[in-house]
Amino acid sequence: MAMAADELEGLLRDAFKDAEITIEDLAGDGDHYRAIIRSSAFAGKSRVAQHQMVYAALKGRMGGELHALALDTAPKA
């Protein structure tokens, strides 16, 4: 079962309250997304740590409901 873009965005908004989030469905199938996330929670964190925070926010759905997620993360300006 695929994950809807609004469900993905909801999980991210729950974890990153101040974030600017853009979700793109890359293949039109609800399985391949790009998430652009700008949040103050990422300040001072490495790119790897930022991505780990995003995966934690997805609560185990990566690899199941969500097949592929391209991440573009950065601290909020």
pLDDT in tens, 39-77: 999 999 999 999 999 999 999 888 888 888 999 999 998
CATH number for the domain spanning 9: value is 3.30.300.90
> For the chain, how many structural domains are there in total?
1
**Cβ–Cβ < 8 Å for 54, 23:** no
Q: What is the 3-state secondary structure (H, E, C) of 29-59?
A: CCCEEEEEEECHHHCCCCHHHHHHHHHHHCC
Domain that holds residue 16: 5-74
0.85 exceeded by pTM: yes
